[in-house]
Amino acid sequence: MVAEEDLNKQMSVQSGERSALLSWLLIYLKGVCMGAADAVPGVSGGTIALITGIYERLIGAVTAITPGRIKRVLGVVVPGRRADAVAAMREIDIGFLLALGAGIATAIVTVMRVLHIALTEAPVPTYGFFFGLIAASAVVLYAQVSLDGPRQIAAAVAGFGLAFVASGGSGGAFGHSPPAIAVAGGIAVSAMILPGVSGSLLLLILGQYEYMNAALNAFIDSLLDVAGGAPPSVVVESGTVVVTFMVGAVVGLFTIAHVVRWALEHYRRATLAFLVSLIVGALRAPVVESTAALVESGRSWTTELYGAFVVAAVVGAAVVLLVDRYTGVIES
């Protein structure tokens, strides 16, 4: 009888472990979906979080990260403060954030590598795909925006104008200095947690998308080279760019993201009008980048290239409309 009870307890523990493992695996896979969306201009990782049912948990975990809790977590190395450190980790849902973050990182590295090849080998269809993603996102989101007051109209004009002007320079005006890269990281990460607003889209507007794509791939390649016996110095150049971006992203997570959330809470309609109009103004970016890529390769627009751009745009728009449809099913 005792042996049977012990066996039942053991089976119960094993079942609980399998259930916990499956739960973390599902969170990781949801992170993979978010990361894949974040890597593509026009689709928001926040939207994927909403679709997969983890958006509120994500926002709660991110906003629970405070300097005080970080200090308590760091106390884990002090024997007398370990219990408090563990409690602080639970308060910020550290397991959830680590599993989700691992999934996001995995997808971003993978998708960025594919997109780097696409942007190099077929820039026009790739940017056409981005154009469709952005255009459909704007159409879907404008259904949630009202322009029935001077504040909303002014915000919409400001958002459109800012994005249209910024996305016309093909990255030249913003530059790729360390401060510019850090600011871009802060802006991008703040957008990634908002449904409908794509961090990669903002990188495209700022002229940083292709540059950061190339830097990330160079960084991964250099790490593989070091693993194969190359000197660590090969990592320095691309690693500096990636680390600078990540530092800006961390700072943005604690500053810009909270500012955007405050603006949505206090001036929701005007903020939404600004954000959605930002997306509309950004439609210029894929066209400008496509033209720049053709000029760089010594080519010009042809009927075939226009057709490829349009077909790819239709495919991109269809992707967003499908995502929006499933979002509506889940919210209803």
Give me the torsion for CA of 28, 33, 34, 37, rounded to 10°. Answer: 160
Residue 102 has pLDDT above 90, yes or no: yes
**Percent of the chain whose predicted confidence (pLDDT) is above 70:** 87
Which residues are CB-neighbours of 256 under 8 A, at least 6 positions away? 186, 187, 189, 190
Q: Where are the domains of the chain?
A: 1-109, 123-332
Report residue 184 CA to chain centroid gap. Answer: 12
Q: What is the pLDDT of residue 123?
A: 92
Position of tokens 């401060």? 179
CA dist 22 and 3 (Å) reads 28
Q: What is the pLDDT of residue 8?
A: 58
Residue 257 has pLDDT above 70, yes or no: no
Which residues are CB-neighbours of 163 under 8 A, at least 6 positions away? 205, 277, 278, 279, 280, 281, 282, 284, 285
Range in 26-35, 250-259, 289-298 with the lowest mean pLDDT? 250-259
DSSP letter string over 134-163?
A: HHHHHHHHHTT----SHHHHHHHHHHHHHH
Question: Residue 264, exposed/middle/buried by CB under 10 A (0-12, 13-18, 19+)?
Answer: middle
Residue closest to 196 by CA, chosen among 143, 267, 149: 143
Which residues are CB-neighbours of 44 under 8 A, at least 6 positions away? 37, 38, 137, 191, 192, 194, 195, 196, 197, 198, 199
CA dist 51 and 34 (Å) reads 10
For residues 285-318, one letter each, b for 16 or more C-beta atoms within 10 angstroms of the residue's C-beta and e for the rest, the string is: bbbbbbbbbbeeeeeeeeeebeebbeebbeebbe
Q: What is the mean pLDDT of residues 142-164?
A: 85
Q: What is the mean pLDDT of residues 297-326?
A: 89
Grouping H, G, I as helix, E, B as strand and the rest as coil, residue 327 is: helix
Which residues are CB-neighbours of 262 under 8 A, at least 6 positions away? none
Tell me, yes or no, if the pTM score tops 0.75.
no
Q: What is the pLDDT of residue 331?
A: 43
Residue 313 has pLDDT above 60, yes or no: yes
Residues listed for the chain: 332
Residue closest to 194 by CA, chosen among 261, 143, 105, 140: 261
Q: What is the pLDDT of residue 138?
A: 83
| Cα 253–Cα 257–Cα 259 angle in degrees, nearest 5 | 130
CA dist 141 and 263 (Å) reads 17
Which residues are CB-neighbours of 159 under 8 A, at least 6 positions away? 273, 274, 275, 276, 277, 278, 280, 281
pLDDT in tens, 52-85: 778 778 878 887 888 888 889 888 878 888 888 8
Confidence category of residue 109, pLDDT binned at 50, 70, 90: confident
| Top-confidence residue, 111 or 264 | 111
Q: What is the pLDDT of residue 306?
A: 95
Residue 10 has pLDDT above 90, yes or no: no
Range in 98-102, 127-131, 188-192, 220-224 with the lowest mean pLDDT? 188-192
DSSP letter string over 195-255?
A: TT--HHHHHHHTT-HHHHHHHHHHHHHHHHHHHTT--GGGGHHHHHHHHHHHHHHHHHHHT
Other C-beta atoms closer than 10 Å to the C-beta of 201 total: 28
Q: What is the pLDDT of residue 228?
A: 85
| Top-confidence residue, 143 or 310 | 310
Average pLDDT of the residues of the chain: 83
Q: What is the mean pLDDT of residues 152-179?
A: 79
Q: What is the pLDDT of residue 181?
A: 92
